[in-house]
Amino acid sequence: MRHTFGNSIFGAALASLVFGALAQPASAVEIAKHAKDSAEVNAVELKGQINEGDTFDLQVYIAGLPKKAHIVIYLNSPGGNLGEGIRLGRFFYDHKIETAIDTKTFCASACALAFLGGRDDATGKPLRTKASNSGLGFHAFTRDFDKSKSYTADDLKVVVQRTQSTVYVVADYLKTIGADMDVLRLMLKAQANEMNFVSNDDALALNIRVFDEKRNQIVEPEQIIGRLNPGLASRPAPSTTATAEGKSAS
């Protein structure tokens, strides 16, 4: 077992956060050694807003690490640039790098898409782990409009086309990494100023491992899904949709 998640309670920290749109520009993430770094594992934390160029910076950082058996990327980010989040996810997938969300931290928006790219370096199978007291959130992307401009029908047509293209890019990415396409439903369920945090049950249904902090053990998706009616794994399940102010919305 590569993870030793703590037993702290993931409380109301998310309520105080303001979530931006997927494409919102911001400063680059901080890349540093994670506390769970060991003789066998290069544990790396990506913390903060995701911005263009972060994937390259991560590659440079990894290139300077000592050679070890495994690499685990711990993601702790409210999101940021959609394209860069997908680039990070493709990097994790292409190079078979495991992803994780540690206790009392969260990975949302573009970060959540990057998280889904995690794979096991030995088997090539998906390997994404969230602590039971962590947050994994999805929401819809948005388009910025100039409030001082009057938009014509042709302008709006372009916006619609670009929106459709963005949906295609996300869907193509999910297909490439073998992720559950139900992620699109989770994204579109919440508006850009809201966040749809998946439950631990939903995470297992999405083939994401959950570290049960109460029992100090990893729960593997196949341990649960394989014992249920296969139809249950694909049916829509309720998730928590939090607004930017931290309130629940139905």
Cβ pair 236, 156 in contact under 8 A: no
In order of their start, the domains of the chain are 13-243 (3.90.226.10)
Tell me which residue of 241, 243, 225 sits closest to 233, measured CA to CA: 225
List, for residues 74-117, the tens digit of each pLDDT value. 999 999 999 999 999 999 999 999 999 999 999 999 999 999 99
Can you give the pLDDT at residue 203? 94
- pTM for this prediction: 0.76
Can you give the pLDDT at residue 156? 72
